[in-house]
Amino acid sequence: MVKEAIRCTSCGKRVEAEKAWVEFMCPKCGKAKIIRCEKCKRMVNTYECPKCGFVGP
């Protein structure tokens, strides 16, 4: 079984090998994982929840 890559929700970059990235549940619905790479966090890039459509930084 092949493990799916962990990607930044904002930019799609693979983050497995990165030192600084975060993973948290959507602050609105709590049903989807949001993953942010260091660059998107620093630049305050937006993300969209794939379950409820919530947009936030």
The per-residue pLDDT for range 16-30, each reduced to its tens digit, is 888 899 999 999 999
Q: What is the Cα–Cα distance from 1 to 29, expressed in whole angstroms?
A: 30
Q: Which two tokens stand for residue 19?
A: 């030192």
Q: C-alpha dihedral over 36, 39, 44, 50, to 10 degrees?
A: -30
pTM as predicted: 0.84
Question: Which residue would you say has higher pLDDT here, 34 or 57?
Answer: 34
Which residue type sits at 11? C
Phi-psi region of 17 (alpha: psi -120 to 50; beta: other; left: phi over 0): alpha
Cα separations in angstroms, 49 against 19, 26, 52: 23, 6, 6
